[in-house]
Amino acid sequence: MSKRKIIRAAILIAALITSITCGTAVAQAADQYSAFTTEIATAETAYQQAADSLEQTVAEIPDNELLHAELKATAESALAEEPVHYELDPNLKQVLSVFNITPEYPIWQDQQQELHAWYDNQIESLKDTSADLKADHDAWTLQQAKNDLTAVIKSVQDTMKTIGSELTKPELAENLSNKIADITASLDAATDPEVLHTYTSDLQADIKNLQADHDAYVAQKEKEAAEAAAKKKAAEQAAANTWTVSYVPSYGTAAAPADGSVGEWQPGYYIAHDWSANGSRIASTPAHVIVNGQVYHYVSSMVVPPDTAWASVSGFVYANGGIGFQTCVGSQRLITHYEPGE
């Protein structure tokens, strides 16, 4: 065997021994790397899920629906933080490359522990931030529900003061006052905004019912006032168009009393000169007359010549238990007929 071959053989043997020795270490490192990359992949997935959940929470909650607006900035800052990456030790990376292993994450001792700790802390921080954001929004929602309910309670109470006792059903106000007292007593301890929203809706419906009842009361009073005014006006008009007749006996005389008085020329038949106030009143045919306490209502009139016989008009005058009045209209005679009533 030549010297050159011996050297080559020695080199091959040394390379083989080195390969066997290094191969064992690298195989162990590869196993560690494989296990570690699996763990990190799981951690990355959990981190991404926590980040996605926080990002969704940030998107769902408006900026103005938080008690502490700075929590939004904290959440956005946490989402902006980039995951930590490590490079392998160059010597280890070179050895691993011989076996076609090109890992992206550290596997050695303190680097491995540090990366685990970073992911654990970040995942917990993201979850806590999301929980804080949701809790603060829930607190805002509850406070807003309390504010809304408080405002409605004040509005209801103000309306009740305005309405006062002007209700057709006074019990509505009493029941509503009791309900408000019960709600107010439980308001501070309330934790469910939906319950408060229900209270708010109920009170709004109650005040509408109360207002409707008040409107009905006002409408009824206005109707009664209108009816009373109409009756008063009718009475005034009736009084203005009612003539209480005073008369003197004037049976069978050739003319009405010369002083302008009303004369009873026949039973229930009254005459007066046209130039007198009484004659003018007869000619105006008032709607109602009162004679001897009895009310009579105007029915009709007729005009006859001055030489008309009594017998030809008495039936017209006394029809239906009525009475009549006479005065001159020019050269003719006006006879009016009234019949008894209330």
Structural domain contains residue 147: no
Same-domain check for residues 217 and 288: no
Domain CATH code at residue 289 = 2.40.260.10
Same-domain check for residues 56 and 129: yes
pLDDT, position 305: 96
The sign one gets for the Cα dihedral 34, 38, 43, 48 is positive
pLDDT, position 112: 65
Q: Which long-range contacts (CB under 8 A, 24 or more apart) does 139-147 make?
A: 139/67, 140/65, 140/66, 140/67, 141/65, 141/193, 142/190, 142/191, 142/192, 142/193, 142/196, 143/67, 144/65, 144/193, 145/190, 145/193, 145/196, 145/197, 145/200, 146/187, 146/190, 146/196
Q: Are strands 332-341 and 288-291 parallel, antiparallel or unpaired?
A: unpaired
Determine the structural domain holding residue 208 and report its residue range.
Answer: 164-237
Among the residue ranges 16-25, 155-164, 230-239, the one predicted with the least confidence is 16-25
CA distance 279 to 243: 12
Same-domain check for residues 192 and 258: no
Predicted confidence (pLDDT) per residue in 38-91, tens digit = 777 788 888 889 889 989 988 998 988 888 888 888 888 888 887 665 554 454
pLDDT, position 81: 80
Among the residue ranges 61-65, 236-240, 318-322, the one predicted with the least confidence is 236-240
CA distance 48 to 55: 10
Question: Closest by alpha carbon to 205, among 184, 164, 175, 161?
Answer: 175
The pTM for the full model equals: 0.57
pLDDT, position 122: 87
The answer for residues whose C-beta is within 8 angstroms of residue 341's C-beta and 6 or more apart is: 295, 296, 297
Same-domain check for residues 276 and 199: no
Same-domain check for residues 215 and 137: no
pLDDT, position 78: 83
Predicted confidence (pLDDT) per residue in 86-107, tens digit = 554 454 445 455 444 444 444 4
pLDDT at 139 over 70: yes
Q: For the beta carbon of residue 27, count every other beta carbon within 10 angstroms.
A: 12
Residue 179 burial (C-beta neighbours within 10 Å; 0-12, 13-18, 19+): middle
Which percentage of the chain shows pLDDT scores above 70? 81
- Domain count for the chain: 3
Q: For the beta carbon of residue 78, count every other beta carbon within 10 angstroms.
A: 19
Same-domain check for residues 227 and 255: no
Structural domain contains residue 32: yes
Instruction: Report the chain's mean pLDDT, rounded to a whole number.
Output: 83
CA distance 29 to 80: 34
Instruction: Place 159 in a pLDDT band, splitting at 50, 70 and 90.
Output: very high
Same-domain check for residues 295 and 231: no
Structural domain contains residue 154: no
